[in-house]
Chain A
C-alpha cells in the first residue's frame, strides 16, 4: 500500500508515472494548476483503479504558500510514501537573456520553489523515516551550454541540492532520487524537431518506477544518456566553450 503525492501532476511524464501505480492498494494526491486537465487526470486515475484520488489546485510560482501546501498534502494523505516533483518550464534562452525579469521568474519556479518544497518535505520525511522523494531534474543540469543555461543552471542546482539532501538523510531509510531525462516528447518540447534520441513520457515513467524499486540515487533516462553525459562532462572547458551546443 503506497500513498503517492505528485507535485505538477499535469506534466506528461507525471501523468504516465501516476498510471503505473494505479491499483486498489494505492492512493494518490495530485497537485497542479490547470483545473481542466487536473479533473480529467484524476477521473482517469480513479477509473484505472486507485483506492482514492484527490487533487489540489495550486500554482507553484506561489512560493510563499509552499509550506502550507505541504501541510495540506500531509493532512490529506496521512503519510507520504512517494513524492514526485515534476512541474517545470523550459524558457527560450534568447528571450530570458534579454529580459532579466523573465529570467528571475524562471529561476524562481524551476529552482526556488522546488527547493522550498524539498525542504518542507525533507523535514517531514526525516520524522517519518521512510519513503521516496523523487525530483525530475535534467541532463541539461550536468553542464552549462549557451542554448539553455538558465534552465540548465536551475536543474543543476536541483541536482546538487538533492545530493546534499541524500547525504543528510542517508541514515533515515529515505530514498532521494534525482531523475535526469534526456529528450522527451511532451508539451514542453512540442516546438522541437524530433529525432532518434527522443522517447515518449511513458518510457521515462517506467524507468522512474524501476529506479524507485531499486532504491537508486540518480537515474539517467533513457540509459544511454549516462554515456552521452559522461562524454560531455569529460570535454575540457577550453574546447567546450568554443562548441556550438
Chain B
C-alpha cells in the first residue's frame, strides 16, 4: 500500500490515491481502507467514476487470471482485472468471441461490467450486461455474493452498470459467441450529411451485426463515414496490427492538436477512404482502430480533454443534433472526434445502465476550462428535454440532477450500494439521491 498518482482517460491532472494492489483474490482485504475505496481497472473511463482522490483505491491489474473455460457451454470465467485484449487473444484461438466489445480493448472485464459498456452491435444483442452469466461480488463486510439472474438478483442488477459502487467484482462468467475466424467483413460508405447517415443505420440494421459512424463536425453539412460489418465466415485468418503498435510517451504540447491539424486530419481521413469500400480486416483493426496508438489521449496535452456522450430517443435525435450543433457554434469549441451509434430496443440489465433505445452521439473536446463546462451544461438541457441520458463512463462534470434525470432508478440502486465504496463521480452526483 502506498500513495500513487492515478488519472483516467481524459488525462486531467493525476491525483494521489492510497493504492491497494492485491496479488490474488484471497489477498483482497478491507482492513487498510480508511474512509472509502473504489476499484480501478485500466482507467479507460474518461472522467472520475474510477477515481477517489486522496482516498483508497483497489488497483485490479494483478487480478488478471482465467478461472474456467467451458467450450461446449460457451462460458468463460475470469477475474475482474483481465484485459479484453488478452481475453480475445485467448478466445479467438478457440473460435469464440465476446458478445459485446467497446471501442478499445485496453479495458478490464470488471470495468466493462461496472459501466455496462456497449458496442457497435447494440441493435442486435444489447449491452455487455446482457451477456453475463454470473459474477462474484466481494462486499466490504467480507461477504462474497454469487450474483446472477437467479441468485442475489438485485445485487446482480445493481452491479451491472453500478459504477463500481456495490463492492469489488472478483470474477465474472461471460456467455460467449461462436465465430469462424478472427476477421470482420466490413463495408464503409461515405456520407454527405446526417440524414443519409441515419438512413444507412435503418437500412443496415437487419443485415449487419456491427454498425457505427464517424462524423467530421468541421464540414458543413457534416460528412462522415458509415461502416458496418459482420464476422467473416470460412477458414481465413487476418493478421493483426498489434505488432506495429506505437506509443505516445509524454503529453504533447498544446499547439500540436488544434483546429487546423484536426481539420486536415479529418479531410484526409474522409478522402482517403473509398466511397463504398468492401474489406476484410482483423477484428482488432475494425473494433479498436485507436488502440494502434497507445496513449493517444496524450496528444491533447496536459490540460486533457472531455468526451460528451448522450443518448436520446430515435424520434428526438435530429432536432437534438441540430440544437447541439448550434450550441457548439455559439461556444466556438472544436470537436476533435465524433462517433454516432444506434441503440436497439433490448432492455439493459442494470439499474443504472446507460444504453436504451435511441441514437447515441459521443464527441471529444479539448479541455478549455469554464467555456467547455458551460457548453456541456447547455447540452445537458437539450438532452434532458428530449428525455435522454448522459453517459457516466465518459463524464467528469455532470450534476446531480442530470444524473437523476438520466438514471431514474438511482434510489432503488442506493439500497445495494456498499457503504465503503465511493468515487469522485458519486460524491458529485449523490446529493439528493
Contact = CB atoms under 8 A, between A and B. Distances in A.
Interface stretch (A1-9, A43-51, A162-170): A43-51
A37 B66 contact: no
Contacts of A196: 249-250
A187 B66 contact: no
Interface string B231-263: 000000000000000000110000000000000
A44 B249 contact: no
A84 interface: no
A37 B24 contact: yes
A110 to B, nearest CB: 20
B246 to A, nearest CB: 15
B66 A190 contact: no
A40 B64 CA distance: 10
B345 interface: no
B23 A190 contact: no
B277 interface: no
Nearest to A23: B93
B21 A36 contact: no
B68 interface: yes
Given A43-B67, A190-B21, A36 B26 contact: yes
Interface string B60-74: 001001111100000
Given A12-B62, A37-B23, A191 B2 contact: yes
B90 interface: yes
A175 interface: no
B69 A47 contact: yes
Interface in A166-207: 187, 190-191, 196
B27 interface: yes
B25 interface: yes
Nearest to A41: B65
Given A12-B62, A191-B2, A44 B27 contact: no
Contacts of A12: 62
A57 to B, nearest CB: 14
A149 to B, nearest CB: 24
A10 interface: yes
A44 B68 CA distance: 8
A190 B24 contact: no
Given A190-B2, A191-B2, A196-B250, A10 B65 contact: no
A72 interface: no
Contact of A187 (B23, B67, B79): B23
Given A12-B62, A196-B250, A40 B69 contact: no
A34 B65 contact: no
Contacts of A47: 66-69
Contacts of B21: 187, 190
Given A187-B62, A190-B2, A196-B250, A40 B68 contact: no
Contacts of A36: 24-27
Nearest to A186: B62
Nearest to B21: A190
Contacts of A191: 2
Contacts of B67: 43-44, 47
A187 B25 CA distance: 15
A196 B249 CA distance: 7
B110 to A, nearest CB: 16
Contacts of B69: 47
Contacts of A40: 24-25, 65, 79
A70 to B, nearest CB: 26
A41 B62 CA distance: 11
A240 to B, nearest CB: 29
Interface in B38-77: 62, 65-69
B297 to A, nearest CB: 17
Interface in A191-226: 191, 196
B24, B26, B68, B250, most chain A CB atoms within 10 A: B24
A37 B2 CA distance: 21
B32 to A, nearest CB: 14
Given A43-B65, A44-B66, 12 more contacts: A12-B62, A34-B24, A37-B27, A40-B65, A40-B79, A41-B65, A43-B66, A47-B66, A187-B21, A187-B62, A190-B21, A196-B249
Q: Which 3 A-B pairs have the closest CB atoms?
A: A44-B65, A47-B66, A36-B26
12 contacts: A10-B23, A36-B25, A36-B26, A37-B23, A37-B24, A43-B67, A44-B66, A47-B66, A48-B66, A187-B21, A190-B21, A196-B249
